[in-house]
Structure 1
Amino acid sequence: MPDGHAPEPDIDATNSPVRPYILTWGRQNCDVVRLDMISVVIAARSDVDEMALEPEQLAILTLCRRPLSVAEVSAHMDIPVAVVKVLISDLIGRGHVLARAPYTSQSPVGRDILQAVLDGIQRL
């Protein structure tokens, strides 16, 4: 420190907790639908105006050509789940992706699903 100035701290912007929230313009809540970490997301259509979307949204559309959970999308993109939820919510609002809660033990099961399971068991 011979010139009297303190050295600047070494800041890695990629690991900053602020950077991911820039992707959502600081929004932390989903506007369209309530998503949780195990909500399943899939691309709804292929005719997308790529110029109207952010690069991260395009990456989500590419990943979601096959069904993925919100947590899986977050892991693939290395972006916090809260940020991914907002980005997915925006895509749902534009009709680019569909999301649904996964089936659980409390989910009502339709007769057609039960019949398909029974038919499969009988074929064994």
Structure 2
Amino acid sequence: MSLPIVIADDSLLARKVLTKALPGDWDVEISYASNGHQALDLYRAGRAAVMFLDLTMPDMTGFQVLETLQHEDLNSFVIVVSADVQPLAQARVRDLGAVAFVAKPVTQEALLPILKEYGLYA
């Protein structure tokens, strides 16, 4: 059974780059969100066991998505993928429940150790 994942980023290019950085043999079903509201809708529909989340998006930021997930007691492996590499931003996303932070542009070498650490990829 495929693992449902969401890639949430307002940039089509960033979504494509992240998709290409995923392991080619990883059995996943990918859904895409271009803003935080769509990401939460996909989560609530059971399509986000893992969520790759950008911080800077229109309408609802990645920080707001994390706050909503935390407030509603929703449980997902959230990996933040962002160009905002400031230590305060990284600390804040971890405080809000993200399991990891990956700087853009994302690479498979950056993702694999995280996926393996959490048992998401063998």
**Structure 2 length normalisation: TM-score?**
0.26
Structure with higher Rg: it is 1
| Structure (1 or 2) with the greater strand fraction | 2
Larger RCO: 1 or 2 (CA < 8 Å, sep 6+) = 1
**Structure 1 length normalisation: TM-score?**
0.26
